[in-house]
Structure 1
Amino acid sequence: MRTQVAIIGGGPSGLLLSQLLNRAGIGTVVLERRSREYVLGRVRAGILEAGTVDLLEQADVGARMHAEGHPHRGCYLTDDQQMIHVDFTESCGEGVMVYGQTEVTRDLYDAQDRIGATHLHQVDNVALHDLTGDAPHVTFDQGGKGHRLDCDMIVGCDGFHGVSRLAIPEDVRRDYERVYPFGWLGILSETPPLRDELIYANHPRGFALASMRNPMLSRYYIQVPLTDRIEDWSDDAFWDEFRRRMPDDVAADLVTGPSIEKSIAPLRSFVSEPMRWGHLFLCGDAAHIVPPTGAKGLNLALADVRLLSAALIAHYRDGDDSGLDEYSAQALERVWRAVRFSWSVTTMIHRFPDHDAFDRRMQQVELQALATSDTARRLFAECYTGVGL
């Protein structure tokens, strides 16, 4: 089997890259370890930057997003009982779109089916070969049989636990990591959202977040110790704790219901450099992870896709390799800016086990800057919407 670009990983970044390349006449094969049903069953974040919205439109997968998504002008942050509003549109001229990552993935699958793109699901034992030689290829098992996929380029979109990043030699690869001493316990419930925009709550008992997917589907989170398990938290216990962490007038409006999904996600900041090695290119979580606090994860992955798809199209259409040569450095510039923003917001609104009175006062100063300073709100809005990255 042969293709021009082999894509490892069938999440949104791999699917979008395949969509953009196929529309430009460049052949791809997407290899995915899980079934399509499993991929579509994963619950993920759903806040899209303006640039992400534009990119999905460019890929011809924006129609349902515009019909069912919810444009947001801003968000709220709280300091115990105080509500602070940051109006993105007023501060920087852009907003965000609330549209679930699962729905983005579904739209991409449908678009890929329409153009007849090649996807191989439930593949095992994926291995990358000859990445700096003349015959790059991928081997894998499917249905109990071994296969070889020859290609010009390999793109790793297979996430933090995938094989692609580890194919870069240890003496070449440099990893940076910060693991946070807490996780997010999240539930999905068929209830109306608490407010028309997201609420990021800083409370003495810990962080909480009120978000939404649609008018009757809400996503709520609370900060919990890494030692907690899902079984430790009944729905009633979650709702009681969530109420405590919201301002009283907000908590009074909370509509509760049974959870339809419940999970605990650890938080980390992670970057691996470089994002290119020979014929291998990394995209998204294969190269970088950010805590979800700044809503950067999916947007950062699709920003990689924007850069890399343009570079690959220039390579095949024009014989111009400058974009491929510059891909890692250009992608990492945005990555590190997004990592800084996500880290700073995480530090500002979570309670850390080793925080003392000084750290708490610093959080209060930062939150009050957002309440009182046009400049602080503009900088926050630019990073949150992506225009400042």
Structure 2
Amino acid sequence: MTDVSTAVAGDLSSLATYREVVQQPVVWREAAGLLADRADEVAKFLDPLLAQPELRIVLTGAGTSAFAGEILAPALSRALHRRVDAVATTDIVSNPREMFAEDVPTLLVSFARSGESPESVAATQLATQCLRSVHQLVITCNADGRLAREHQQADESLVLLMPSATNDRGFAMTSSFTSMVLTAWLALAPAQDAALAERLAEAAEQVLARSDELTRLTAGGYDRVVYLGSGPLGGLARESALKLLELTAGAVVSYYDTALGFRHGPKAVLKEGTLAVVYLSNDTYTRQYDLDIAEELRTAIGAENVLVIGAGSSNGGPETWRIDGLSDVDDAALALPFVVIAQLLALRFSIQLGRTPDNPFPDGEVNRVVQGVTIHPLPR
């Protein structure tokens, strides 16, 4: 049987994408270990920068790598009490003078699976061209990628390599994305619990053990899925929507928004055949708004069509999918086991539709590493 027909028959192990999803608990532990081994080097690089009150931190990447920054930026702003911006490389490359309009000391944090995307390299070069004081932290899964090679020995740069297995072979970023988010959070957020990576890995193992529960949803005839989240989980909603769009090659339409923003027009997307996924924040204030929209959606489209994901206590709560043991962690960390659910959901939708998850665009309309981009020189 082909990989897809084998997967439809129930054996997902033939798919690289599936293997890369289920390896995440293992590679998260490995990524945390790699960072711990370089703790002194990382501190030597970051501590003087973070001591500068005027330092601007810019988190950048393209596509899924950009959404890593969208998850981390609000959480890091709160943790570091400073300005942290998520700016896609695609925005930096097309509008560098606007993105770097303030010539202040800047730490550019680049996320890249392959490090071969034209915009990834160009963004780091444009930062140097536009700013008088810029340091570069490169977080990548490919030691042989151009981004890693150019910054490995560069002054004022530090390259953090992820475990080699995270350089995903599948089309969609899964373990690459989560490992980079975890590494950046552990490296940049102060006073992190040394056991956090282990707790997150155990939570992901909870999710994987329950993955068959998603079968009902993917066989339910849905042709559109809405993901909603607040704060850092807004970036997670965006990544979740992209994962579904990628792996189904657009056959299932996906949409993302914030809990409050959804009512301001985008709610018009709801119709018969819509599945809504609501991510609940661990912040008790923010969570109130997530609960409000979840209840509103249950009324609008039926509770059976609303998947509410949270990390509430074992004493009961509104979640239809509760992850135990993480009710005290920041939303940026909570996003990691949450996104495993979205990855599995996208994978199962893809298989249900007879797609090829490892290569959902066999004709090459969309590529694993973006092609066709011309980087134009920035006039002096």
Q: TM-score, normalised by structure 2?
A: 0.27
More strand per residue: 1
Q: TM-score, normalised by structure 1?
A: 0.26
Work out which of the two has the higher radius of gyration on C-alpha atoms and give 1 or 2: 1
